Structure 1
């Protein structure tokens, strides 16, 4: 896909242009796209200026405009509906090219007349005019009205944000030709999926993995206590990067949920208490099994195993139907950052030493 190269938007495959798209957006009503319309003739000239686009076998040519096509116009006969009649559209364009006296469209009309008839016939067969398009500033209102039946009371904007997030991914796939279409059923199903996130025993994920830069986050979180805790049990670079991402997403999502009144502090507090209780039991098991004379390597190993065990645990959830596991993982790191839990058998002593050093250094 290219923008402002071959046309406003174009798609090519193996170096060959497959489709051209002209966009005509008007802030105010532009009336009807008549046979003598400046928009129509400017668009035709853009396509005529490249001989390969006008020749037989050229690419699909699409004009998307906020103007209406009108009734009985060339544009109306080049639409996707039952009125499509490229032959009649060609007659109307030929007539307009010969009879119009507009100086604005003169160059385009002369070029049309000079273009071989066979090429003009080929062009109108490949042209699609999509008129009456919604203006960009009105799209969100129209979408909101269409799915008003699904909007949760008090969370309308959050719902719409998630819907647009899904649509951006779909639109990108469509633009890059990774998919050919999106049908009504798929859109309806996605609306229902999002709606289910707002039922009492579920929550929406508001911070996706693709919204963060893990490498940058690792650098900015290097001094955090939870990062030290992971290094004390010799967690590898990849897992450390993922852990920082989980921590950041969980903290950010907690803030988003609270700001949007999706969850209360009491409920979050109960969730944290349950995570601490789960950790206390697992930590006690680790300490019972740890040999009194265990060396440093052994103590690192059992601490790392404890972290892995709880990292993969799904026994504690913030709500019963909320299954996105990054949140519990990230909250455990948040608790470790507050040194309420830890992984190394001697984490409490190590945290106190670290805090004392920072105090000494004025950090």
Structure 2
């Protein structure tokens, strides 16, 4: 498992890591953690370890005059100021005092290097920090202001406790990147779905995008019931817009996985109910007509809830096309025979068999 400070990735996850490294300001009295961190840094040659990151991001909150050294220009005056305030410091806690003595014993060159690495910009006002958090994590699209503040506090508190626990146990503050991202996802999920914005209802869909879908299974299924050309084009547009929305949900974690599963289950239940009706009528009229009837009946229904709200119609219809593309559902009465079927315990991927020429 990679460590947080060893990871360099792009996209949202990269923004998350940048945010964690630059904005996750631990809270409360950090004197013990401060000195433990200094001692760890002084005794370990891993200059890029997260121990230094923790020290740098907590230094501005240390009680006393030491943080003033970080704002002094010039390495020599900065070191002199730091030494002057460092020398009289001691602690009744033996372990903390030992750490202080280790730092006092650092040679000037090492201490200068440490101070240079410690120099960070002041965090600014809470409002400015909140704005930067919203911008980096795109949480402004997910949470209302109050929930955003709660989510940020929860993550900051967890991060702080995790770091201090590691330091108190003398293990060094190494946090797996996966742990950080998992925790962020859990916190986001708890607040997700409030005031969600659907972005692609009016998004343009190019002819090239349409053409790229012509061989997809959901299109072949619609052609098997001879869906009219205009209705087929509408289906392509709904499918592509729903794909974009779903990609955005995965990107921003704005929809709970459990809610997505319940939404798909509701679509499947509706399809099974209507499909049984069609199966009972298949010998009475043309099979393709039956398939179109099944399709029209389902497309005309109002969407079920997705989380705590009802999604737009194009998300509902596009979700059916996604299920047909798997294929977990079909429109033609003999769709399983013609296109194969994906069992409920399989992932939604490509079909097991290629569509026939029927």
The structure with the larger Rg is 1
Structure with the bigger RCO (C-alpha within 8 Å, sep 6+) is 2
Greater share of residues in helix: 2
TM-score > 0.5, shorter chain as reference: no
TM superposition score category, shorter chain reference: 0.3 to 0.5
Normalised by the length of structure 2, the TM-score is: 0.42
Normalised by the length of structure 1, the TM-score is: 0.42
Greater share of residues in strand: 1
